[in-house]
Amino acid sequence: MALLLIKSRPSNLTNPAVRALRFASSDGRIQLHKSKGQHILTNPRVLDAIVRRSGVGPSDTVLEIGPGTGNLTLRLLEASRRVVAVEVDRRMVDALSRRAEERGFRDRLEVIHDDFLKTKMPSFDLCISNIPYMISSPLIMKLLFESVRPFKRATLLLQKEFAHRLLAKPGNPGFNRLAVNVKLVAGVEFVMNVSKRDFVPCPKVDSTVVTITPKLETPNVDLEEWRAFTRTCFNTKNKTVGAIFKQKRLLELLRRSEDRDGGGYVESEDGVEMGLFKDRIIGVLKQEGFEERRPSKMGIEELLHLLELFNQVGIFFNERRKI
């Protein structure tokens, strides 16, 4: 029986202009690549605190994204039933596998050698990771919207400013589309700040640990439509939602604008045009150019439903709030 599972796929992260850094680890010298976000968390107190605050228990399967040389992984193996780690760098996969084997953990560790954003999502109870910061947004979207089955919680070490935008309330500076998308399906909580001095090599920015807990019930919404809708709302900087969709006026205009064939365009005060065909919204045209969208299944009723959901996540249509 293969005890240490390593699934492999060639990496496409082969930028020749990569800026490499020298780092002396306990496993020998490994060249760390900034382009892969390789900042190793070395402070044992912080590592222990992350494990403790994650609430991991002996029955949990943990997903770790970007385990690196395994400083966090070994602690997670001590505390959990099983760890599935996804790592893009072959050298890290080897270093981690060696360390896990030395510590007698090899039958409880599965290492997937792949880019997390491209790999098939494994099943897991908890995700606990010091992630590569440059893929933070797509990583969180993948966790929340592509998980095979519901998971309990994700405990993530994020760049401090990024974490604070996720924690921001509607109307606060920094509140962005990712925060809205996350808020629809999950709750985000602050856990602790981590100094940049706790990493080797020392990054330019401090970090923050947050937990992201999926809601037990998610709203009844076509997530693809929701994401297109929030993209429209957040593409127009420094505007309120009310300015983008003047609800009554927009709907009146939409209905009146329909031509003989059932198609038409209307323009809002902010230069946002919506294309209609037989009561279906087929595209959004803005001052900067046409935003490509597949013909939408969304009709006027669905648009109103999305606006209602916006209220539920705390963005009120009629309030003059900046988003």
Among 146, 176, 144, smallest CA distance to 163 is for 176
Distance CA 72, CA 56 (A): 13
Smallest gap from residue 68 Cβ to ligand SAM (A): 3
Q: Which stretch binds ligand SAM (CB under 6 A): 86-94, 207-215, 256-264, 315-323?
A: 86-94
Backbone angles phi, psi at 170, to 5 degrees: -55, 135
Please select the residue that binds ligand SAM; options are 61, 62, 63, 67, rule is CB under 6 A. 67
Helix (H) or strand (E) holding 2: none
Distance CA 79, CA 294 (A): 46
Among 283, 281, 285, 258, smallest CA distance to 271 is for 285
According to the binding rule CB under 6 A, does residue 225 interact with ligand SAM?
Answer: no
Smallest gap from residue 129 Cβ to ligand SAM (A): 7
Q: Which residue of this chain has its Cβ atom nearest to ligand SAM in the complex?
A: 66
Please select the residue that binds ligand SAM; options are 72, 109, 126, 298, rule is CB under 6 A. 72
- Tell me, residue by residue from 89 to 128, as one string, x for binding to ligand SAM by CB under 6 A and - for no binding: x--x----------------------xxx-----------
Task: Point out which residues pair with 84 in neighbouring strands.
Answer: 63, 110
**How many CA atoms are closer than 13 Å to the CA of 61, on its beta-carbon side?**
12
- Tell me, residue by residue from 130 to 149, as one string, x for binding to ligand SAM by CB under 6 A and - for no binding: x-x--x--------------
Distance CA 181, CA 156 (A): 17
- Closest to ligand SAM by CB, 67 vs 214, is 67
Smallest gap from residue 112 Cβ to ligand SAM (A): 9
Size of the site for ligand SAM (CB under 6 A): 23
Helix (H) or strand (E) holding 157: strand 153-159
Residue with tokens 């937990």: 211
- Closest to ligand SAM by CB, 61 vs 230, is 61
**Is 39 annotated as ligand-binding?**
yes
According to the binding rule CB under 6 A, does residue 86 interact with ligand SAM?
Answer: yes
Strands 199-200 and 263-267: unpaired
Distance CA 180, CA 139 (A): 15
**Is 115 annotated as ligand-binding?**
yes
**How many CA atoms are closer than 13 Å to the CA of 115, on its beta-carbon side?**
12
- Closest to ligand SAM by CB, 113 vs 286, is 113
Task: Extract the annotated binding site for S-adenosyl-L-methionine.
Answer: 39, 41, 66, 87, 115, 130
Residues at the interface with ligand SAM (CB under 6 A)? 36-41, 65-68, 71-72, 86-89, 92, 115-117, 130, 132, 135
